[in-house]
Amino acid sequence: TFLMAFLHFFDKMQLIAAQFVLPDDRAAQSLLNKLIRSNLVKNTNQVEVLQKDPNSPLYSVRTFEELRLKPQLLQGVYSMGFNRPSKIQETALPMMLAEPPQNLIAQSQSGTGKTAAFVLAMLSHVDPSRKYPQCLCVSPTYELALQTGKVIEQMGQYYSEVKLVYAIRGNKLPRGTKLQEQIVIGTPGTMLDWCGKFKFFDPKKILVFVLDEADVMIDTQGHQDQSIRIQRMLPQSCQMLLFSATFEESVWNFAKRIVPDPNIIKLKREEETLDTIKQYYVLCNSREEKFKALCNIYGAITIAQAMIFCHTRKTAGWLAGELSREGHQVALLSGEMQVEQRAAVIERFREGKEKVLVTTNVCARGIDVEQVSVVINFDLPVDKDGNPDNETYLHRIGRTGRFGKRGLAINMVDSKMSMNILNKIQEHFNKKIERLDTDDLDEIE
């Protein structure tokens, strides 16, 4: 019993630890999205625009030519495989490239083309003949700064006079350095040191200030203050641009402090629905029974690709182990993996090298693997108080708008408590979840 108590305590600690790493997880999630994203996220919603001056005409463009970009940049854009501006870019690009420059706050989910948009704006505004920093871009983490830097390098590949430097930890410059690069990208702390303390460049000469991933930024203690202190050193005439994937009250308050007189652009996420999903539940008495039931339906679910969700890393690890022991080839996506490792696992799964991906919720949040048509909730999604987590349920199995293919969701129920949760989820969405007898599988075909 001492051992049991200890194990219980250990489990609790793990749960607590899991909650502690959450803020950082937002940065990790964002990086993961960037590492695995190769395409624009589809979105059929309309862009909402709030103009600083509602009487000024609103331009939006359908082609990159209309923007009258420098030929080197247009070439860069096309070489990245972009044919036409994304939804958010249609409106954001003309605003950012307008004369006189306009300030902008833009919000849309990750993968909708924000980074590409502000990179293009920065590259358009610099004067390559002047050898000093003219654009600043702050990102929440070292890794995210590197990712954005890569986009700058790619898009600017035919515009080699424009140079880029990274203001990130580890990049130590000798005292007295005067930067010659036109674009500085980095994290708020180092950026602040570089312009305030070390005076590596003159903030008064900055034309464009970009604050990327504002929602991730404010999760880190100190980043808000540092960003605001950088912003205060910049001239009045400097163009301020702020981007965020989500827009809570806290992000909004921060955005208003960074960006005076902004134009505001928002693109709502595509709604997810359960309309094209067949939902089932399987009644069991224990974890082992759930595993047996899963083995029974394994053949049926692996006709397509499947994702299996567990509540804890421990269960996910156990389940992946048991499935492998049965001779099934499965992938495990777990919170203790490095982001790069996680990206590699997702990549393999996307390529179809594995048919089944076992994961926890924290890990898979924000990842949409389009070809997945079967989702198994080995554990039902609950929040930290043990209440049904409807939002996560919808996000795990729902499909967006008219792009959604048909799908199948199977929920494993192993106690009165989880039956109760299932019933609440069913009520919430007002859609029947049918009982599935795993010894008689004709129904799910």
Nearer to ligand ADP, 33 or 418 (CB): 33
CB 82, min distance to ligand ADP, A: 4
CB 154, min distance to ligand ADP, A: 8
Query: Measured between alpha carbons, how far is 141 from 24 in angstroms, rounded to an integer?
Result: 10
CB 111, min distance to ligand ADP, A: 5
Q: CB-hemisphere CA count at 13 Å for 23?
A: 9
Nearer to ligand ADP, 87 or 278 (CB): 87
Q: CA dist 218 to 167, 197, 414, Å?
A: 19, 23, 40
* Pick from 445, 412, 439: nearest CA to 296: 439
CB 34, min distance to ligand ADP, A: 6
Q: CA dist 373 to 194, 346, 399, Å?
A: 49, 15, 10
Query: Measured between alpha carbons, how far is 255 from 161 in angstroms, rounded to an integer?
Result: 32
Nearer to ligand ADP, 108 or 373 (CB): 108
CB 201, min distance to ligand ADP, A: 25
Q: CB-hemisphere CA count at 13 Å for 229?
A: 15
DSSP string, 330-381: EEEE-TTS-HHHHHHHHHHHHTTS-SEEEEEHHHHTT---TTEEEEEESS--
Q: CA dist 183 to 105, 122, 207, Å?
A: 20, 8, 10
Nearer to ligand ADP, 29 or 305 (CB): 29
CB 93, min distance to ligand ADP, A: 9
Nearer to ligand ADP, 312 or 400 (CB): 400
Nearer to ligand ADP, 96 or 412 (CB): 96
Pairing assessment for the beta strands 263-267 and 47-50 based on DSSP bridges: antiparallel
Nearer to ligand ADP, 115 or 224 (CB): 115
Query: Measured between alpha carbons, how far is 310 from 358 in angstroms, rounded to an integer?
Result: 8
CB 181, min distance to ligand ADP, A: 22
Pairing assessment for the beta strands 434-435 and 277-283 based on DSSP bridges: parallel
Query: Measured between alpha carbons, how far is 80 from 158 in angstroms, rounded to an integer?
Result: 12
CB 35, min distance to ligand ADP, A: 10
User: At which residue do the structure tokens 């100190």 appear?
Assistant: 222
Query: Measured between alpha carbons, how far is 348 from 369 in angstroms, rounded to an integer?
Result: 11
Nearer to ligand ADP, 91 or 115 (CB): 115
Nearer to ligand ADP, 31 or 410 (CB): 31
CB 255, min distance to ligand ADP, A: 16
Q: Residues near 422 by Cβ (< 8 Å), separated by ≥ 6?
A: 281, 380, 411, 413, 433
Nearer to ligand ADP, 248 or 383 (CB): 248
CB 85, min distance to ligand ADP, A: 5
* 324: amino acid identity, one letter: S
Q: Residues near 294 by Cβ (< 8 Å), separated by ≥ 6?
A: 308, 319, 323, 376, 378, 412
Q: Residues near 155 by Cβ (< 8 Å), separated by ≥ 6?
A: 73, 76, 77, 80, 116, 119, 120, 123
Nearer to ligand ADP, 87 or 290 (CB): 87
CB 241, min distance to ligand ADP, A: 12
Q: Are 371 and 305 in contact (CB under 8 A)?
A: yes
Query: Which residues partner with 89 through β-bridges?
Result: none
List of residues contacting ligand ADP (CB under 6 A): 37-40, 80, 82, 85-86, 89, 110-116
Nearer to ligand ADP, 40 or 382 (CB): 40
CB 38, min distance to ligand ADP, A: 5
Q: Are 125 and 134 in contact (CB under 8 A)?
A: yes
